[in-house]
Chains A and B, each alone.
Chain A
C-alpha cells in the first residue's frame, strides 16, 4: 500500500522554481489521489480526468494554501469534492438490491465479520454502499481523518459526523453480511 505520509514541506525559497515544485508534488501525490478517486467513483477512466482537474485547481489556487506541508490533504479535499460533484451530477448510482433482507440479521455474530477470502467481494461491497457512505468511510479509514477533520470537510458538526459515520458503518455491515451469507 502507498505511504500516506504527506509531502515533506519544501522551503519557501524553493518555491520560485514553480514548475519543478509542481512536478514534484504531482509525481508524489498522483498515485494516492488517483486511487482515492477510483475507489470513490468506481470508474478508473473518470478518475483520470478528475485527478488532472484536481491538480489544476490546486495549482491555480496555490496562494490559498498556507502550509505546503498540507498539500496532500488539501489536494485530497479538492479531489473528493470534484468526485462528489461529478457523481451527483451524473446521478450514477448502483442500485442496492435486497439489502433490507439482511436487516433482521444485523445482530451479527463474530463469524459474520470474519474476513472473506480473496478480493472479489470488495467491488460489490463498495458499489452497494452508495457514494456518500463510500466517501465518509474512505475519509475515515483510508485517509485516516479524525471525526473533527471529517466535520470540517463536510462543514457539519462533530455530532452529525458521528451519525453519518455510524449509518455508513451499519450499511457496510449489512452489505458485507449479505455477501458473506450468499457466499
Chain B
C-alpha cells in the first residue's frame, strides 16, 4: 500500500509550526484537522496527562466520561489515559526527558489502511513531544523572567518607599533635634541671664550691707554674711560650669591636627601661675600628634591637671605625671598623681554630673569637670576611666582613636 508522502510532509511541517500556536488546545485542533486526511484514520488529537477535560480526543469523548480514563490522585479532574491497549486506538506517548507529556492519539477505523503510517506517526509523536517540551520550557522561562521582572519592580518600589520613609524619618528626627537644640540654647540663655541675675543681686546687696554697715555689725552677723557670699559664689560657679558642660555637648567640633604637647602646655601654664607657691614634681611625656578639637582637648587637660593639683595639695612631695601609651588602635593619655586618691568602690559615677568623692569643705569644686571630660572624649570617639587607691593617688585615663589622627 502506498504511503501519501505529501500528507506526511504536511503533518511534519505542521508540527514544526506548532510553536506559533498560543495554546495546546489550538495545536490539538490543528492536528485534528490534519489527521482527518490520514487514510484509515477517523480522528486525531492530543491528550495531555492530567489535563482533565480533553480536547480533540481521538475517541471523541471527554476524559470524565471515558471508560479508558483513570482518575489520578490529586483531584477528580485529573486523568491519565489507559486507552493505548484498546482496539482501534493508537496512543503515541509524547516522551520528554521530564516524563510522558501526554499522548498523540488516533482513532483508527481501518487498521490495514493505517498500518503503513504507523512508523511516521510514532516519529511525529516524538517531534511533537520535542516541540511541546520546547514550548513549555520557553513558557516557563518567560514566566520566570516576567516574575523576576515583577519582583524587581516590586522590590524597587518597596525600596523607594523605604528610602523615602527613611529620608522622611531622618528629616523628622533632624528637625526634632534642631528643635531640642534650640530649646537647650534658650534654656542656657535663660540660665545664664535670668538665674544669675537674682544671684548677683543677693551677692551684691550682701556685700553692700557688709561694706556700709560693717562697723555696727556683730561678729556673728559678719559670719552669716560671709557664708551668704560664699554660697552665692558657689552657686555662680555651678551655673557657669553647667553652662560650660551644655556647651561642650552642643558646640560644633572643629577637628584639626593637634599638637598635644602645646595643648598640655597651654592648659598647664595658667594652673602653674595659680599655684605658684606649690612645689610639684612634674613628669611630662612627649606626646604624639592627634586629631581633634584643640579647644575641647585643652579643656580635658585643664580639668585633669587641675584635679591632680587639687588632690595633691596635702601631699608633702607632690608628683604629677602626664603620659601616654599606644594600645591597639588607640592612644591612651593619662594624668597620674600621688595625692589623696579615692576608693574605687565609689568610683562608679565618677564621670557623672555633680559626682564628688570628697567633702566639699576639704576640696573645692562643682563635680562637673569629669563629666565634661567624658563628654568631650566621647565626642572624639574615645573612652575615659580612672584608677585609684585611697592615700596613694589616682590616675585618670582617656583614649583617642589612632585612625582619627591628622597625621600620616
Decide whether A and B assemble into one complex. Answer: no
Interface of A toward B, CB cutoff 8 Å: none
